[in-house]
A = this chain, B = another copy of it.
């Protein structure tokens, strides 16, 4: 049986209930890496995780959020790996866009995003830049897809407080050419990025 379409009210209530749950889950993901408790405690913690899963499974959508129907035709982003409030993998990123389509996000990345010792994984830096550069290219009702993305790693990115900034360099034929970077807590640029983003032509 397909899911019933979600009303704006359903969406608001679900985010209010599951947002705090995802927040607790983010903390648990971190603790599961850093904990040094004995086997017996690890076993007890796992049993509680399984119990929580059994409760959440009592009613379940078979689909990813992005493909779930809503009564107002929106695309649900609550599961998005970067911005989803219900996705414990997402920091979640809160991207602020200015009138000139520049975009920025401040965030703090802890242990779960580590690659080399004490540093953010280079792939996580790529993911952040893809998302924030992409945000400069979205237009109302017309999402943009990444065409190409070029990353230059100029300094190590330490775990901790970071800022991602992106701006539009030029637009032509439905393509947006954007640039951006990651700044560490001292304001040092650690990774630079250039991207070309494409908005599919509306069907006529």
The residues of A with any CB-CB pair to B shorter than 8 Å are 3, 13-14, 16-18, 20-22, 24-25, 27-29, 31-39, 41-46, 48-53, 55-67, 75, 78-82, 84, 86-89, 110-119, 121-124, 126-131, 134, 143, 145-153, 156, 159
CB closest residue in chain B, given A48:
B52
Docked-complex contact A48 and B51, CB < 8 angstroms:
yes
Docked-complex contact B37 and A114, CB < 8 angstroms:
no
- What are some 7 contacts across the A-B interface (CB < 8 A)? A16-B39, A21-B42, A31-B60, A65-B111, A66-B115, A116-B143, A124-B127
Docked-complex contact A64 and B111, CB < 8 angstroms:
yes
Docked-complex contact A24 and B49, CB < 8 angstroms:
yes
- Provide the bound-state CA to CA distance between A34 and B134, in Å: 25
Residues of chain B with a CB closer than 8 A to A81's CB: 112-115, 121, 123-124
Residues of chain B with a CB closer than 8 A to A123's CB: 81-82, 126-131
- Provide the bound-state CA to CA distance between A28 and B201, in Å: 38
Residues of chain B with a CB closer than 8 A to A35's CB: 18, 56-57, 59-61
Known: A53-B24, A148-B150. A66 touches B122 (CB 8 A): no
Docked-complex contact A80 and B49, CB < 8 angstroms:
no
Docked-complex contact A151 and B152, CB < 8 angstroms:
no
